[in-house]
Amino acid sequence: MTKALTLLELNDMVSAVFEQSFTHAYWVSAEVSEVRESRGHCYMEFVQKDEFSNSLVAKARATVWKSKWMILRPYFENTTGQPLAAGMMLLVKVKLLFHPLYGYSLNVEDIDPTFTLGDIAKRRKEIIRKLKEEGIDQMNKGLELPRLLQRVAVISSDTAAGYGDFCNQLNANEKGLVFYTRLFPAVMQGDGVEASVIAALDAIMDDALEWDVVVIIRGGGSVSDLSGFDTLALAEHVAQFPLPVVTGIGHERDDTVIDMVAHTRVKTPTAAAELLIHHQEAELTLVESISERITGCVGLRLAEEINRLNMIVGRMPSIYSLFHQRQLNRLVQITNLIHRGINSRLQTDKNKIELLAARFPLQVNALMQAEQHRLKLISLRLKAVDPVNVLRRGYSITQVGGKLLRNVSQLKKGDEIVTILADGKVVSSVTELEQNNKKQEI
């Protein structure tokens, strides 16, 4: 029966082969998928992805021991301007190890930061290429700064020293210019930069008409942590923002992608404040110049008008005398016209009155005769309908209960009725009623 190896024996054999076969260190390029520090050591995971499908084709664990990491970390950050982070491409010098318990891993002995710089530059170049393809890389730069640049929306960390420097510089300007600022807080370093700054831009966009300019400043943070400002999404927001964007992220050596697409890039938050102050000072100088020109023009025009007024005043006596004489002549003419008009109207009205006076007695007599004739006719008609005369012609009036009897339905048997004749009245008692050929007896 063949003797079996234990797993430890097998792993020891593999470890021996590694020690014999891989005696040298190798330079390897790989992407960092994970990175963390613990007790001064740095632990990473390297990966390689398929160029077309982006699927993993290789993976390995790597360690930078504390003694090496204390040297490599500051060198890498000072050279690249950024901390080592997931997603970066690295060129590392490694030794291959196989531990019976922990398996295959890489010990990192050196890191070439210039390789990472090239990759960072390549990524930036790719982002700029995409922005140019979209036709938006110059959009924000094409905006004009408003003539009055007072309402400033500031994107920064509320605890950043640079934000305080910006406000102090802005408010302590020598000309006493007034600025209105409002902070839109955002994370300015680390993984949350992109989402946080985009959220602040969206908040400003909700009240875009309330602001003249947007200032993105990042004072007081780590100069090495700038990767959050090199993203396509953030660059697209800044490039297409409808207000001019000024960046003062606080680094001098390299431009981030948002620096490249912003309207104006300055080095520091105080430089951003100076930019706004100088812009307003230029406008103030222009206004003062225009004011001086207006004052000069007004003074000249005022002098001309004073001279003209003096000339008019000098001519006033003769002009007044001529005008006064003309008005007197006109007043005499109007008075004569009024007198003639009144006399003519009085004579016409007098003739009308005389004519009416002559015709009035005749018209009154004729009217009186007509009215007397009409009264006689009315009197004859009244006499014809006089009840006394009607009774004399043989008619009578019958009453029941003091009321005029008009029909049989007003009576009942036993009622007492009064019949009025021309020469007296007759009182009767109803013993029989007859209505519509119907007879009612007592």
Domain-terminating residue out of 85, 111, 132: 132
Determine the Cα–Cα distance for residues 322 and 432; give it in Å rounded to an integer: 115
Q: Check whether residue 87 and residue 196 sit in a common domain.
A: no
Q: What is the CATH number of the domain that holds 155?
A: 3.40.50.10550
Map 62-114 to HEC letters.
EEECHHHHHHHHHHHHHHHCCCCCCCCEEEEEEEEEEECCCEEEEEEEEECHH
Q: Is the pLDDT of residue 225 over 70?
A: no
Q: Are residues 63 and 82 in the same domain?
A: yes
Q: Please tell me whether residues 96 and 227 are part of one structural domain.
A: no
Q: How far is CA 321 from CA 36, 233, 311, 326, 331, in A?
A: 107, 86, 17, 9, 15
Residues 128 and 140 in one domain: no
pLDDT tens track for 331-363: 989 989 998 889 888 888 888 888 888 888 888
- Does 175 share its domain with 266? yes
199 belongs to a structural domain: yes
Q: What SS3 state is found at 218? A: coil
Domain edge (last residue) among 282, 308, 325: 282
Looking at residue 439, its pLDDT comes to 53
Whether residue 245 sits in one domain with residue 227: yes
Q: Are residues 106 and 158 in the same domain?
A: no
- Phi, psi at 286, each rounded to 5°: -65, -45
Closest CA to 8 of 126, 142, 101: 101
pLDDT score of 438: 56
Domain end: 83, 104, 132, which one? 132
Assess if residue 336 is contained within a domain. no
pLDDT in tens, 245-273: 999 886 655 578 898 899 999 988 999 99
CA–CA distance, 54 with 39 (Å, rounded to integer): 34
Q: Which CATH number belongs to the domain containing residue 40 in this structure? A: 2.40.50.140
Q: Please, are residues 266 and 255 in contact by the beta-carbon 8 Å criterion?
A: no
Domain-located, residue 101: yes
- Give the range of the structural domain holding residue 229, as residue numbers without chain letter: 136-282
Query: Could you give the residue ranges of the DSSP H alpha helices within 183-268?
Result: 193-206, 232-239, 257-261
Same domain, 109 and 30: yes
User: Mean pLDDT over all residues of the chain?
Assistant: 86
Q: Are residues 14 and 100 in the same domain?
A: yes
Instruction: Kindly give, in sequence order, each residue whose CB lies less than 8 Å from that of residue 64, ignoring residues fewer than 6 positions away.
Output: 41, 42, 44, 72, 107, 108, 111
Q: Is 47 inside any structural domain?
A: yes
Residue 442 confidence (pLDDT): 42
182 belongs to a structural domain: yes
DSSP-assigned states of every residue in 113-180: HHHHHHHHHHHHHHHHHHHHHHT-TTTTTTSPPPSS--EEEEEE-TT-HHHHHHHHHHHT-TT----E
Residue 80 pLDDT more than 90? no
Is 367 within the bounds of a domain? Answer: no
Number of domains making up the chain:
3
> For residues 105 and 63, is the Cβ–Cβ distance under 8 A?
yes
Both 152 and 278 in a single domain?
A: yes
Residue 415 and residue 400 in contact, taking contact as beta carbons nearer than 8 Å: yes
* Number of neighbouring beta carbons within 10 Å of residue 66: 13
Summarised one tens digit per residue, pLDDT across range 156-191 is 988 888 888 899 999 999 888 999 999 999 988 777
Cβ-in-10-Å burial (0-12, 13-18, 19+) of 131 comes to: buried
For residue 95, what pLDDT is reported? Answer: 92
- Tell whether 275 and 408 lie within a shared domain: no
The DSSP H or E segment spanning 303 is helix 269-384
Does residue 370 fall inside a structural domain?
no
Phi (first) and psi of residue 219, to 5 degrees? -95, 150
Q: 97-152: per-residue pLDDT in tens?
A: 988 888 889 999 999 988 877 777 788 888 888 999 999 989 999 999 998 889 99
Do residues 278 and 394 share a domain? no
Residues belonging to the chain: 442
Tell whether 345 is covered by a domain.
no
